[in-house]
A and B are shown apart, each in its own frame.
Chain A
Amino acid sequence: MRYADLPDHFAALDAWRADHDLAPGEIIALECATTVPGAITLLHLLARGFSVVLLPPAVPGAPGAPPRLCRRRLTVRGHIVNTAGHAAGPANLAPDRPASFLAITELAEPGPPPPPALATGHVFLRTSGSVAAPKLAVHSHAGLLGNAVLSLERTRLAAGDQIAIPVPLSHMFGLGAALVPGVAVSASLRFIEAANLLRFREHERAARPSVAFVTPALLATLVRPDHAGPPRDHYRHIVVAGDKLAPALFEAAERRFRRVLNLYGTTEMGVIAVADADDAAGPRATTVGTPLPGVALRLDAPEAPDASGAPDASEPGAGAIVCRHPHGFTGYLDDRGAAWPGPPPLVDGWYRTRDLGRLHGDRLEVVGREDHSVNRDGRLVVLAEVERAIEALPGVARAVTVLGGDGRRGRRVLAFCAPRDGHALDATHLRGACADVLPAYAVPDHVVIAAALPVLPSGKVDRRRLAADASAIEMSAPPPREGTV
């Protein structure tokens, strides 16, 4: 469809909403496929002033119930994936007929009415947690737009671009770095639903994109270092958000896609920094460039990652990234729409991202997470939650997780497990049991059975010692099927 057709699509959506008594003032939960109808619906709701809670298409095993802040959920059906994460049946989805792609459902147990000030003009993004209750980051429409326009300083999207969007529109990366900036400059946008390496390549051959927004996990499957094939000369650059790329992956990606721009952002602050396309490959390989204009960064002393009091030895010299952003979020709500009960996330406008970084001159290198968690497959995995889940399995007395080397889904996770008295544990069996209680991206790559876990004189588990053991285990026996949980 063309931008010129947008008013007609919006009018059709107005009519559909009138039939369903859906008007601004009701905060709607939008479960949005990465498709043209998904994008049109989202843009329509924003243009009409709705407050929207954005939800990804449901993934089996991941938390996904809509927040109780909403009375109803609007689902944009996909061509490939329906809301249960299964294949959609044969469907005749037409972007100009909202009834063909929209479904609205009443939600059980809605919470109290939302605060009037938030009932219109806001977007709520769920922060990813692996198992814990999610919270909602609150953005105003103006903030979201300001954030998106600011990111154009580096992504340099333009009207002539063909932009490939294989990432969810419900996350800040897809929404705030790709969709909204792309629309702001009237670029051609193409959405890749249920993206995998096969669908991405099909899209690439058909659309010859000039820019693509990809996650490190997808990128790792698009680039085959042993036979990368010829460079695709239709690309100007790709934008990658997430963990730092391994040097070999960065180099292979630069050959194939011309340039790789690493982007750093969070659900709360939107896009914070993006590498400059004019920078040399060296700084672009290791850093996310300088902060965007008007964004301020500082590095604070990192917290000790666990109760042992020992700072994380794996990232010497790194500090906790604290950020002030002219278009960042305004605060958190809990899932019911009530004020977040935790400590205020913004202190004098500064937000602690819980990421660890180093500065190279003005350029930021993001090295990992502060709070004993890790980004795997684009999702935050809090290792303490993984430990609790394993400890709830039969026969497990104690589980302690440590991070290993880089796998395709992110840093590998090793779980050291001590059996309860009188129980015998089998590593393979226990790892299978983990897959029953944890989403796939949170299942440890290695389960190691240890009769006793090493302890410090204080009686606390010696995580440094386990981290050393983990390195030795990975050196002597790399996972037989790397990272594919």
Chain B
Amino acid sequence: MRYMMLIHHDEAALAKAPQQELWAEYAAFNEALTKAEGSTTGERLQPSSAATTVRQLDGKADVLDGPYADTKEQFAGYFFVTADDLDGAIAWARRCPSSKYGSIEIRPVFEAQGK
């Protein structure tokens, strides 16, 4: 099964993390991800302070500065994995350094029936 892994960071906790160590861990993680079949490294996003949210109501665009939801943890990036089952995806989530500074949401990618 293919899973999209959505990274949500506690930006305050992340800022306090030992940066060099964190990015070294991330480099190793990305390396492992690249080697795993069916998995792809994703994208890292700018922090939520750079986010803009748009909603359209009755043809009128409502543009708000800030992220979709102002919560403690913010959407920060994503990657894809292919795993036999949820346990395989959970193992990847635990390997991801970001799981220590927030949470990883695991979403199965919608696949057409009969595959």
The answer to whether A and B assemble together is: no
Chain A residues with CB under 8 Å of chain B are none
Chain B residues with CB under 8 Å of chain A are none
